[in-house]
Amino acid sequence: MTYDPISRTFLDFFRERGHELVSDGSLIPPPGDPVLFTTSGMHPLTPYLEGRPHPLGRRLVNVQRCLRTTDLDEVGDCTHLTLFRMLGSWSLGDYDLPRSLRWGYELLRDGFGIDHDRMHVTVFGGDEQVGPDEPSLRTWNELGLPVELTGAENWWSNGPTGPCGPDTEIFVWTGDGPPLGTPGTDSRWMEVWNHVGMRHHRHPDGRLSPLRQPNVDTGMGLERLEMVLGGHRSVFEGAGLVPWVRGVSGGWGLRDGSLRLVADHLRASVVVIGDGVRPSNTGRGYVLRRLLRRALTTLWRDDASRTLSDLPTGAVRHTLDGFGQSGTVDEVRDVFSGEERRFRELLRRGRPVVSRRRSRGPLTDEDYRDLHDTHGLPRDLVDGLLAEVS
Ligand code: SER
């Protein structure tokens, strides 16, 4: 794995402070893990956050590829990506959250040159189970950064149960002119780095108990940091996205939100395929299928003759190389073309069926079940066809 200059600065900073490098794992969690894809740098470290000793020690750092489908509806804007790289650092029961915040501030200001005045933070203000995060509040006050106190937005967990805790998020001003408002009132404050005081375990009944050790888990979106440091207006101006933006706008003439969505989804699909997933009707394969179908739906919105055979192959190569994947452009092209064929065929068969069903009145749950079981039409696809026919 080769690292870009931003990642190297991040890794060196933490290595100089005693952190050992954990290598970038695949998007596929180990067998037995119920989660479909790695969604954060901490995810592969869960057993160690829960107290198992890590072979590399108690201070760790890495750059982890992550896939998040929870933000899918926001993809198309300027700051959300389905696939991104997370710069992460961890204290496994070693130093505390204020130590991490001071290092974080030092790295952003002195290592990356981000002005003090362009930073704003949010801190957990407490709820009925856990009090306010006083140590973080005190630390940020001492460092002189403006703080906004919030509730649930500053509580981090990777799912309904497991390790969790209050987090404090660092935002950077991305607007022209001097900063205005707070992260809660002005979306030009972009979250870049999240520091979690991971010291609780959530049980299935909602109860919290202390973890065996208090940890710190931090994660910063590399593409967002790149946007800030490059003075860009969007993450799509970053080195990993530019070949996609060029290819998608040049090849298919897409613009703005459609361009960003297709660039994002195709890039994410390439990495998912590179990590060994193939389209299917369940699990990981279905996530891949949905990404490709969303991209195709967007491509065909104003020109149904567009085809993934015109895929920007330079961008595919660039992405496979960037993520150190051994797959080939031809393999990716085969998967894309196969999916495109299947999807065209499904739409051709599905359109008249949905339209007939619709003419009898609004669809019931039973209709959806039947369309799925008898005609192989998933609910989201039926909804798309309904929007076309009504
Ligand atoms: N787990 C936190 C996040 O994903 C910090 O790494 O934001």
Burial 358-371 (b: 16+ CB within 10 A, else e): beeeebeeebbeeb
CATH label of the domain that carries residue 46: 3.30.930.10
- Residue whose Cα lies nearest atom 4 of ligand 1: it is 40
Q: Which atom of ligand 1 is nearest to the CA of 219?
A: 6
Tens digits of residue pLDDT in 153-166: 999 998 889 999 99
DSSP one-letter code for 282: S
The Cα–Cα gap between 360 and 200 comes to 53
Confidence tier at 267 by pLDDT (50, 70, 90)? very high
Query: What would the pLDDT profile of 272-328 be if each residue is shown by its tens digit?
Result: 999 999 999 899 999 999 999 999 999 998 888 999 999 999 999 999 999 999 999
Q: Is 246 found in the same domain as 228?
A: no
* Residue 301, pLDDT score: 84
Of 159, 140, 139, nearest to 42 by C-alpha is 159
State residue 389's pLDDT score.
66
Indicate if 228 and 331 belong to the same structural domain. no
Helix ranges (H only) for 31-181 are 46-49, 97-106, 134-143
In this predicted model, what pLDDT tens digit does every residue of 345-390 receive, in sequence order? 998 988 898 989 888 889 999 999 988 888 888 787 888 888 876 6
Do residues 116 and 218 both lie within one domain? yes
Q: Please tell me the predicted confidence (pLDDT) of residue 1.
A: 59
For residue 88, give the ligand 1 atom closest to its CA.
Answer: 6
**What range defines the domain where residue 85 resides?**
3-233
Are 73 and 155 part of one and the same domain?
yes
d(CA 153, ligand 1 centre) in Å: 12
Q: Based on the domain organization, do 61 and 191 belong to the same domain?
A: yes
pLDDT (mean) for 108-123: 98
Nearest C-alpha to atom 2 of ligand 1 is from which residue?
219
Final residue belonging to a domain, choices 233, 255, 289 = 233
Examine the domain organization and report whether 158 and 283 are in the same domain: no
- 87 and 181 inside one domain: yes
User: Which amino acid residue places its CA nearest to atom 6 of ligand 1?
Assistant: 219
Ligand 1 closest atom vs CA 86: 6
pLDDT digits (tens, 9 = 90+) for 222-246: 999 999 999 999 999 999 999 999 9
Same domain for 12 and 62, yes or no, is yes
**Whether 382 and 361 share a structural domain:** yes
Cα-to-centroid distance, 294 and ligand 1 (Å)? 27
Task: Show the ligand 1 pocket: residues with CB < 6 angstroms.
Answer: 40-42, 88, 156, 194, 196, 217-219
Residues 109 and 158 in one domain: yes
Are 250 and 303 in the same domain? yes
Do residues 144 and 251 share a domain? no
Report the predicted TM-score, pTM, of the whole model to 2 decimal places.
Answer: 0.92
